[in-house]
Chains A and B, each alone.
Chain A
């Protein structure tokens, strides 16, 4: 169930990346596929995260003026690094995930820019400004998306259900004991 949810989220993210810049320029500062790839990597499923990284990266590259495979390369690398960190360090808290999104975004931009420079292709946009704006936009959007995904996840749903049922049981158990004491 969790894997289906992430796959659907990734497809939606790629479609949003294709279309939202045409709706408003502000959306170009958000890297939606990267947010979902980091989320998938945080679930510690390395293989799936790597495949997601490559496929979504190439899907974005195909509609971009940049090199085909540059986003695929950077996002595959990010997926591997984040999933390795997530296996060693506890990162299930949203507050801990925010710096991970920011770091992943920074690394993604640097690798993307570096690969273009390496192959003699100079991107059009100014480097520092682009990295700064993408970092801010992606981190804010990523935090919001993780909140939404967290609320809709199967684990949190089960936890909430368990909590609500346990409170009822406690109420039922207490009454007979109290009555018996009296």
Chain B
């Protein structure tokens, strides 16, 4: 009994020490669990979809009429946009600008949630074989969801932004024009984030959008985090307390995307700083 307890304690201590690195037991258990979780997720989502489609039939007729009208309106708009697009292309070729996708993405499905009530991680059905790496950002059409914390060949574990430790660089308003820069953290409340280090002298309005800055070297700049829900004013010396409602529906998501983003390399002069060795060991966080 003592040997087992001691073994577990050593495992815990090691896990707490190397929280940001790959952990072999975790990775391979996830890969094994995928063979159970994936079929269950497929079956439950198809059963849910079946019942959803039955309930949707009731409103189908009126929705159909409304959509037909909408299609006609959109056809007109598409024609207009095609013309604009052609004009845009010709202008770009004149200016010799190249269009390129900002980041590659890998679409993924949530196949499992944290089996413990205490934490809020999730498992997706994409892993290192799909190009997913540690700390890559996870998004959906609403905005930022979190980052990858463990990768197996076929699955990956993700951590939600609302988790306490996941502090990230954020800016209220447009990046480059606003000077309301701060750090966004989870605050224990499941549907809310907290932003700190914004001086009390900067005016912040409820409803303003918050974006990533990219200064944390994990998330790329310009990703939507959420909108300001509450502002507790500070003073010239005390920073404001700002609460943010995440844009992404963190607890009702099924489809997500992994941004295949790798942060820029650390500049040479930063490697000579006293904490440089520690940072290299941490590999990000």
Contact = CB atoms under 8 A, between A and B. Distances in A.
Contacts of B163: 65, 124
Contact of A80 (B1, B16, B29, B30): B1
A97 interface: no
A37 B42 CA distance: 30
Contacts of A15: 36
B163 to A, nearest CB: 6
B140 interface: no
Contact of A72 (B11, B29, B114, B115): B11
A67 B12 contact: yes
Interface in A46-63: 46, 50-51, 53-54, 57-63
Interface in B21-38: 23, 25-26, 29-30, 33, 36-37
Contact of A125 (B13, B36, B117): B117
Nearest to B48: A23
A115 interface: yes
Given A21-B115, A50-B4, A125-B119, A67 B15 contact: yes
A166 interface: no
B7 interface: yes
Interface in A113-159: 113, 115-116, 119-126, 130, 133-134
Contact of A121 (B4, B16, B33, B115): B16
B25 A58 contact: yes
B40 A77 contact: no
A39 interface: no
B245 to A, nearest CB: 17
Given A22-B111, A80-B1, A125-B118, A62 B12 contact: no
Contact-residue bracket for chain A: 35 or more
Nearest to B190: A124
B45 to A, nearest CB: 9
B23 A73 contact: no
Given A19-B36, A76-B4, A64 B164 contact: no
B240 interface: no
B115 A17 contact: yes
Interface residues of B, number: 47
Nearest to B110: A22
A80 B1 CA distance: 7
Interface string A64-101: 11111111110011001000000000000000000000
B115 A63 contact: yes
B212 interface: no
B33 to A, nearest CB: 5
B9 A18 contact: no
A18 B13 contact: no
B59 to A, nearest CB: 25
Interface of B: 1, 4-5, 7-16, 19, 23, 25-26, 29-30, 33, 36-37, 40-41, 44, 110-121, 123, 149, 157, 159, 162-164, 186, 188, 190
6 contacts: A17-B115, A18-B37, A22-B37, A64-B114, A116-B118, A125-B190
Given A65-B159, A72-B11, 15 more contacts: A17-B115, A22-B113, A46-B1, A58-B11, A62-B25, A63-B123, A64-B119, A67-B15, A68-B12, A69-B8, A72-B4, A76-B4, A115-B9, A120-B16, A123-B119
